[in-house]
């Protein structure tokens, strides 16, 4: 029994020196392992006189249970300590707000382009395409603008070489389409155009939509009807429309089309320069000289053409006073549309 007493004391003493889980594992093996001290004592039972076996056995059993309980308890508290340390050293501050993902959306110019295209498509117009790097012939000469004609001054041109230009308008697509198709024709040609010009209402690149309708009996009234319908669909059906005489070498007669100022309702303001009207596009009846250039018989066909600037329309529609905003890619601006 003294030995058992010593066993328990030895265990308690060593338990007090355990510094970590590794020590504890060693202690556990030393006392309650298969080759540990408790097992060693168990083996002694059979060598004892029978009357001492029972008490020895039950005391040893109590000590065994005591050891197991102490080991489990200490193991739990050591594990908790380790856990606590990890929680402290591996602390991750997740309170920093995330970076917001910005959503992309269609550029306002593309929105207006799509809207305008859809209106003409609904009236039966086909969409045609042409090159942005264009020959002098298609951009000017075939449109009745000869080399030394003063009308070339209307457009500040980027010349790539003597005979190649960045197209200054979408009108060359009229020629390309008429060269490859025969009337009846009802087309629009949206796209980028280039002029050497830059201020709050001009950028070196901007967008136009060209329109062309040719058949055997197209009249100026058809032009008025199509454009009035277009304007009423785009700006509202009560928008006043006015045709003003103008000049383009490729149309005769030519007109500039104004809408009643959408800012002041026609009474006169800064935007319409107190006239009550805003110019939005150029148009006219196709000049017979242009028909001759593409080989159409001038006594057989008549037609009208028009060209409108998308940036200008977008600026009016959304009350934007500086065209450069469209091309600065500032999300604060772009996300408003
Ligand atoms: N091409 C002309 C311009 O850019 C617009 C226009 C097109 C005028 C068709 C009449 C007919 O100024």
98 CA to centre of ligand 1 in angstroms: 51
CATH of domain 108-334: 3.30.930.10
Quick check: CB of 287 below 6 Å from ligand 1?
A: no
How much distance in Å is there from the Cα of 306 to the middle of ligand 1? 6
Put simply, whether the predicted model's pTM sits higher than 0.85 gets the answer no
For ligand 1, atom 7: residue with the closest CA: 307
Report the atom number in ligand 1 closest to the C-alpha of 307: 7
Instruction: Name the band, by pLDDT with cuts 50, 70 and 90, for residue 336.
Output: very high
Q: What is the pLDDT of residue 153?
A: 72
Q: How many residues does the chain have?
A: 337
Percent share of the chain, pLDDT over 70: 100
Q: Are 124 and 225 in contact (CB under 8 A)?
A: no
CB atoms within 10 A of CB 223: 23
Rounded distance from Cα 326 to ligand 1 centre (Å): 22
pLDDT average, residue stretch 274-291: 96
* pLDDT tens, residue by residue, 205-226: 999 999 999 999 999 999 999 9
Does the pLDDT at position 51 exceed 80? yes
Q: Give the dihedral sign, CA 199/201/207/210.
A: negative
* CA dist., res. 22 & res. 123, Å (int): 86
The set of long-range contacts for 327-335, using a CB threshold of 8 Å and a minimum separation of 24, is 327/203, 327/205, 331/102, 334/105, 334/107, 334/108, 335/102, 335/105
Confidence at 152, pLDDT banded by 50, 70, 90: confident
Residue 324 CB coordination number (10 Å): 13
Give me the chain's average pLDDT, please.
94
Quick one: pLDDT at residue 154? 67
- Ligand 1 pocket check for 191: Cβ under 6 Å: no
Using only C-alpha atoms, what is the Rg of the chain? Answer: 46
Pocket of ligand 1 contains residue 248 by CB under 6 Å: yes
Q: Does residue 158 have a pLDDT over 80?
A: yes
What are the residue boundaries of the structural domains of the chain, listed by start? 2-89, 108-334
134-149 pLDDT, tens digit per residue, is 999 999 999 999 988 8
Mean predicted confidence (pLDDT) in 94-117: 92
């Amino acid at each position: 029994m003294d030995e058992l007493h010593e066993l328990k004391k030895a265990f308690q003493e060593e338990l007090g020196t355990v510094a970590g889980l590794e020590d504890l594992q060693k202690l556990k093996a030393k006392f309650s392992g298969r080759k540990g001290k408790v097992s060693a004592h168990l083996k002694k039972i059979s060598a004892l006189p029978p009357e001492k076996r029972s008490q020895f056995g039950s005391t040893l059993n109590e000590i065994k249970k005591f050891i197991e309980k102490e080991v489990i308890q200490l193991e739990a508290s050591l594990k908790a300590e380790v856990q606590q340390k990890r929680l402290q050293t591996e602390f991750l501050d997740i309170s920093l707000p995330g970076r917001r993902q910005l959503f992309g959306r269609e550029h306002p110019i593309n929105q207006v382009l799509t809207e305008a295209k859809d209106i003409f498509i609904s009236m039966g117009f086909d969409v045609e395409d042409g090159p942005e790097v264009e020959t002098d012939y298609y951009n000017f000469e075939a449109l009745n603008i000869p080399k030394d004609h003063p009308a070339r001054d209307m457009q500040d041109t980027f010349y790539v070489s003597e005979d190649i230009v960045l197209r200054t308008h979408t009108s060359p697509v009229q020629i390309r389409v008429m060269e490859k198709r025969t009337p009846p024709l009802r087309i629009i040609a949206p796209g980028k155009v280039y002029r050497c010009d830059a201020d709050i209402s001009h950028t070196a690149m901007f967008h136009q939509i060209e329109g062309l309708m040719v058949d055997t009996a197209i009249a100026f009234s058809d032009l008025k009807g199509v454009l009035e319908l277009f304007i009423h669909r785009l700006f509202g059906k009560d928008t006043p429309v006015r045709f003003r005489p103008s000049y383009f070498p490729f149309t005769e007669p030519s007109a500039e089309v104004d809408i009643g100022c959408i800012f002041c309702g026609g009474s006169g303001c800064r935007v319409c320069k107190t006239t009550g009207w805003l110019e939005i596009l150029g148009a006219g009846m196709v000049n017979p000289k242009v028909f001759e250039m593409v080989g159409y018989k001038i006594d057989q066909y008549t037609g009208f053409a028009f060209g409108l600037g998308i940036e200008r329309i977008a600026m009016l529609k959304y009350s934007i006073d500086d065209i450069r905003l469209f091309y600065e890619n500032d999300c604060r601006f772009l996300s408003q549309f």
